[in-house]
Structure 1
Amino acid sequence: MKTLSVKKISFPATESAAQIPSIFDAEQIPFQQINCVNWKDYPYMPEAKFRIAHTGDAVLIHYCITEKSVRAVAPADNGRVWEDSCAEFFVQPTDENKYYNFECNCAGTLLIEYGIPGNREHAPLETVGQVARWASLGRTPFEERMGECTWQLALRIPVSAFFHDKIALLDGKKMRANFYKCGDKLQTPHFLSWNPIALPSPCFHCPDFFGEIIFESK
């Protein structure tokens, strides 16, 4: 099981999510690879990496991805973003089997759910709207574009987005999590993970295969 320390940094809530990459550069937050190809029927491995930090009251994530084509068809939040060029963060804040999935396509359209595998509850759209997003390809949906493309995505996820938990501060907390890159309906479907998954067919809703993230205190 992989373990990742999440550095605490200063990033005011008033700052645009577009500033996250440059702040991460200044803070020397390193990238982690999403490069586990878990299923031989889906061998394609785009270049996918992420880096993560926190501010005490929010999780900050920056994805950088290069792939053969890009797609952002989902028209609105809480839609089928996993069918697009999608980067995902699944996290289990407590010892319960329940967890959150934050799935965001390359146009910044976001899905948030909570529950157990096979029984998921959508977050209220008001809650989803509290997550600040920046997408290098813009925020307008589009059909699949062929040809190699590099895109970036940055998210500021406030603790209020964990809508079934009362989390005041992230400092010192240990959570189980995994990070994914997928594209179910791209010309070349793929299913990559940060922490490896030992299942016979593609499935990201598998908390038994989450790694561990530890939120540092300053």
Structure 2
Amino acid sequence: MKQYTITRARSTVPLGDAVDGTPWEEATVFRIDEFSWHEVGPKPLTTGRVCYDDEAIYLQFSVEDREITASVTALNGPTFEDSSVEFFADPTPDEDSRYFNFEPNCCGQFKVAWQEAGWQERGIDRDLISPELADRISIRTSVPGPTTDGESDADGWWLAAAIPFDVLSELTGREIAPTAGTEWRGNFYRSGVATDSQKATWNPIEKPAPDYHSPEYFGRLRFE
């Protein structure tokens, strides 16, 4: 099981791709480079950083992508079908297996939900974020939106996001306010790729077919 330390930011975290001279500089880089279902073709690399303060958790992704496409414009739509990244996390791993998923596409549209393991198979409802809560999540990307058709000359894109802890608290019905030593479980994913061979994760998933909703394969996320 992989481990990642979420660095505490000592100053305002900018939502962009700049690293030098910002709190991102102190954050450890993670690599989404576990291609558990690879059979043929390239292995596009995605890297990222995470930090936090009293208000929010901040995510920064850098994505290798030669076919940058996005068509989803609705909140909680199937953004995983677009060029996208994903962050799944269980903020209370000692209590149960419930987790939230944050799935932004390259243009900044996203889905957020709160569910428990096996919700799909057992027909259990999940809670999707409301428009009012979603408006409090901030995202910046390098791809002009709201859609893109893959005709850009760019060979990659970046995305940065700030997810306030009070938004997660309202979504989950739990007090989410991590401090030094708090430990979550989670994983980072790359989606919207050409084939299953290009689907990648941070912590490996040992299943015969892609299944990102696999909290049993979450890694450790420890807050500094």
TM-score calculated relative to the size of structure 1:
0.87
Say whether the 8 Å CA contact 1:127–1:160 is kept in structure 2.
no
Say whether the 8 Å CA contact 1:78–1:125 is kept in structure 2.
no
Q: In the superposition, relative to structure 1, how do residues 187 and 7 fare at CA in structure 2: closer, same or farther (>3 Å)?
A: closer
Greater strand content: 1
Give aligned-pair identity as a percent. Answer: 27
> What's 1:69 paired with?
67
What are the superposed Cα offsets for residues 131-177 of structure 1, whole Å, 9 maximum, x if unpaired?
Answer: 11100112321233376621000001110232212123444310000
Query: Is 1:213 aligned with 2:211?
Result: no
Deviation of the 1:76 alpha carbon: 2.2
Q: Flag structure 2 segments of 5+ consecutive residues without an equivalent.
A: none
CA distance in 2, matches of 1:57, 1:43: 41
Q: In the superposition, relative to structure 1, how do residues 167 and 56 fare at CA in structure 2: closer, same or farther (>3 Å)?
A: same
CA distance in 1, matches of 2:69, 2:206: 28
Q: In the superposition, relative to structure 1, how do residues 139 and 11 fare at CA in structure 2: closer, same or farther (>3 Å)?
A: farther
Q: How many residue pairs end up in the alignment?
A: 211
CA distance in 2, matches of 1:30, 1:194: 13
Q: Aligned Cα RMSD in Å?
A: 2.2
What amino acid maps onto 1:121 in structure 2? D
> What's 1:151 paired with?
157
Pairs within 5 Å for 1:61-100: 61-95=59-93, 96-100=96-100
For the residue of structure 1 that corresponds to 2:80, the secondary structure is helix
Q: Flag structure 1 segments of 5+ consecutive residues without an equivalent.
A: none
> What's 1:182 paired with?
191
What amino acid maps onto 2:110 in structure 1? L
What amino acid maps onto 2:80 in structure 1? W
What amino acid maps onto 1:166 in structure 2? E
What amino acid maps onto 2:182 in structure 1? K
CA distance in 1, matches of 2:219, 2:44: 21
CA distance in 2, matches of 1:178, 1:196: 9
Say whether the 8 Å CA contact 2:84–2:190 is kept in structure 1.
yes
> What's 1:135 paired with?
141
Q: In the superposition, relative to structure 1, how do residues 85 and 29 fare at CA in structure 2: closer, same or farther (>3 Å)?
A: same
TM-score calculated relative to the size of structure 2:
0.85
Deviation of the 1:19 alpha carbon: 7.4
CA distance in 2, matches of 1:94, 1:20: 32
Q: In the superposition, relative to structure 1, how do residues 69 and 75 fare at CA in structure 2: closer, same or farther (>3 Å)?
A: same
Q: In the superposition, relative to structure 1, how do residues 131 and 11 fare at CA in structure 2: closer, same or farther (>3 Å)?
A: farther
> What's 2:208 paired with?
200
- Large movers: runs of 4+ above 6 Å: none
